[in-house]
Amino acid sequence: MILIPICIRFLFTPSSKGQRMYNDAIYDFVAVGVGPFNLGLACLSSAVTDLRCVFLDREEEFNWHPGMLIEGVTLQSPFLADLVSMADPTNPFSYLNYRKQQGSLFNFFVRENFYLERQEYNRYCRWAVSRLDNIRFNHQIEQVVYDPDQRVYRVTGTETKQNKSFSFLAKKLVVGVGMKPRVPDCFRPASRGIELHSSRYLKNKPELQKQKKITVIGGGQSGAEIFYDLLKDSEKFGYQLDWVTRAPRFFQMETAKLTLEILCGDYGTYFHGLDKPTKQKIIEEQKSVYCGANQSLLDEIYDFLDASRHSNLPQVQLMPCMNLINVKQNNSDNKSADSTNGYFLQFAHTQTGERYQTDTGGVVLSSGHLYEVPSFMEGVFDRIERDEQGKYLQKENWSVDIHGREIFIQNAGFESHGLINQDLGMSCYRNSRILREITGQDIYSIENRFAFQSFEPGKESGWNPMGSGVPR
């Protein structure tokens, strides 16, 4: 593929939104969304001569899950899961080079801790953004259509700072818009639930801490981080704290090294080849890997509770087996005299079947995230393969278009390649593959094999297939 540089021209014309900003250059690809996955792609692309690409994000600036940038909380992945190292350890956008440029590499060396604080990872990503000249913030994408005459995609939206509509043309697209907060069905309308979701935690924290009682729902990593953050302040503010999970116990994420091999390219390829019911069964079985909280955090919580036994900590309750079934607003009409204002929460015990109601002043829904196909893709639905539920049918190379080489999707849930889709450690692998598809060149060499184990015996194993006797 010959990558031809094209002069960029912006045309300004008046419209109802003010001026229009039309860019009639044809890019090799436009990337929508600048989270860690597309930011990694931007870093890796920057070294490719004559590759014309632009990265668009609706936010004013880069901030990684800002509602969860809790002080002291770390990534679950080692620092080598940075934006570039797993594709190219010599890349100037590596975390080690960031520390070198900051003059603090020696401190990192002495610190001997592979797990960066989330706030530090955010600073590193912002540093990377500041060194790239093709990232455009304040660009809200609203529509993507295909122009058959020019054989290009037209990406349009609003430049929110100046209230101008914009348009970019590209041969290919890489969509990395992340996930949406998952809200339990009983929190309807969903917008009300989203306000209480863990993704808004730091914004809501001052208001939460004014309540007499706070309930954290969800026993995963975010739930544990929020519970612990609130627990440490509970004596100071005097609020009671309940931590509730539907799971039968508060459990740690599985991190045995051989288990972590399911977070690698070999496994992603194997998983991609399975049929849908088998995939669904496996995803359910793998909850011990992606649900739960990390062991050190659970230990810290336990130790804190033990050390607080003789202090004046307000009531703290941990409740496993509690499935949230209903929620009612606790307004002045149905509020009991000593009640905290806020909500009545109703739960069913998953093992005894008993139902319970409790009132609480503040709720944090640590109920995870889910992928939704963004509405701006509707204009190209006729070029995309989707299943009966409207979800993408992603090919092994992460494309979703009918030709399998034009529209690539980052992090679209577990259905295509399993847990690797969300994992920062596999971002470089996917981005190297996407770059290979886009440019037709092996720019970053890609390992043929990652894992010690074989997820399906290959020809070289000497294990000869005899046909399928057991249903998958």
Ligand X SMILES: Cc1cc2nc3c(=O)[nH]c(=O)nc-3n(C[C@H](O)[C@H](O)[C@H](O)COP(=O)(O)OP(=O)(O)OC[C@H]3O[C@@H](n4cnc5c(N)ncnc54)[C@H](O)[C@@H]3O)c2cc1C
The reply to whether 84 sits near ligand X by the rule CB under 6 A is no
Return the H-helix or E-strand segment holding 167: strand 164-175
* Binding span for ligand X by CB under 6 A among 51-59, 289-297, 346-354, 395-403: 51-59
Task: Work out which of 376, 398, 408, 429 binds ligand X, going by CB under 6 A.
Answer: 376
Beta bridge partners of 158: 140, 165
The reply to whether 68 sits near ligand X by the rule CB under 6 A is yes
Reference 331, options 340, 318, 319, 321; nearest CA is 340
Minimum CB–partner distance for residue 225 and ligand X (Å): 8
Q: Determine the residue type at 156.
A: T
Reference 40, options 80, 99, 100, 70; nearest CA is 80
* Binding span for ligand X by CB under 6 A among 26-34, 293-301, 310-318, 333-341: 26-34
- Encoded one letter per residue, x for contact with ligand X by CB under 6 A and - for no contact, window 170-199 reads ------xxx---------------------
Cα(158)–Cα(65) distance, integer angstroms: 23
* Binding span for ligand X by CB under 6 A among 133-141, 207-215, 249-257, 456-464: 133-141
Minimum CB–partner distance for residue 328 and ligand X (Å): 28
The reply to whether 38 sits near ligand X by the rule CB under 6 A is yes
Reference 367, options 189, 119, 200; nearest CA is 200
Cα 254 vs. chain centroid, distance in angstroms? 19
Of the pair 177, 301, the CB lying nearest ligand X is at 177
Of the pair 140, 397, the CB lying nearest ligand X is at 140
- Encoded one letter per residue, x for contact with ligand X by CB under 6 A and - for no contact, window 199-238 reads -----------------------x----------------
Maximum alpha-carbon separation in the chain: 75
Asked if 383 and 419 touch (Cβ cutoff 8 Å), the reply is no
Task: Work out which of 140, 308, 323, 341 binds ligand X, going by CB under 6 A.
Answer: 140
Of the pair 63, 104, the CB lying nearest ligand X is at 63
Task: Tell me how far apart the terminal alpha carbons of the chain are, to the nearest angstrom.
Answer: 41
Minimum CB–partner distance for residue 312 and ligand X (Å): 32
β strands within 391-444, DSSP E: 407-409
Cα(381)–Cα(390) distance, integer angstroms: 10
Q: Which of residues 317-336 bind ligand X (CB under 6 A)?
A: none
Of the pair 177, 438, the CB lying nearest ligand X is at 177
Cα(47)–Cα(29) distance, integer angstroms: 15
Task: Work out which of 424, 434, 438, 443 binds ligand X, going by CB under 6 A.
Answer: 424
**Tokens standing for residue 270:** 């194997």
* Sign of the CA dihedral with 441 first, then 445, 449, and 450 last: negative
Task: Work out which of 31, 34, 144, 322 binds ligand X, going by CB under 6 A.
Answer: 34
Asked if 121 and 40 touch (Cβ cutoff 8 Å), the reply is no
Minimum CB–partner distance for residue 22 and ligand X (Å): 18
Of the pair 221, 360, the CB lying nearest ligand X is at 221
Of the pair 71, 338, the CB lying nearest ligand X is at 71
Minimum CB–partner distance for residue 33 and ligand X (Å): 3
* Binding span for ligand X by CB under 6 A among 237-245, 271-279, 331-339, 420-428: 420-428
Task: Work out which of 37, 55, 95, 408 binds ligand X, going by CB under 6 A.
Answer: 37
Q: How many residues bind ligand X (CB under 6 A)?
A: 31
Asked if 208 and 356 touch (Cβ cutoff 8 Å), the reply is no
Residues near 233 by Cβ (< 8 Å), separated by ≥ 6?
209
Cα 265 vs. chain centroid, distance in angstroms? 18
Minimum CB–partner distance for residue 2 and ligand X (Å): 30
Q: Which of residues 388-417 bind ligand X (CB under 6 A)?
A: 410-411
Task: Work out which of 31, 54, 56, 345 binds ligand X, going by CB under 6 A.
Answer: 56
Of the pair 35, 361, the CB lying nearest ligand X is at 35
Beta bridge partners of 180: 370
H-assigned helices in 198-241: 201-208, 221-237
**For tokens 């002069």, what's the residue?**
7
The reply to whether 138 sits near ligand X by the rule CB under 6 A is no
Q: Which of residues 432-471 bind ligand X (CB under 6 A)?
A: none
Task: Work out which of 45, 46, 76, 211 binds ligand X, going by CB under 6 A.
Answer: 76
Residues near 161 by Cβ (< 8 Å), separated by ≥ 6?
60, 138
Minimum CB–partner distance for residue 208 and ligand X (Å): 17
> Cα dist. 264→95, 272, 461 in Å?
21, 12, 20
Cα(288)–Cα(248) distance, integer angstroms: 12
Minimum CB–partner distance for residue 173 and ligand X (Å): 12
Cα(441)–Cα(224) distance, integer angstroms: 44
Residues in contact with ligand X by the rule CB under 6 A: 32-38, 56-59, 65, 68, 75-77, 139-141, 176-178, 222, 374, 376, 410-411, 422-425
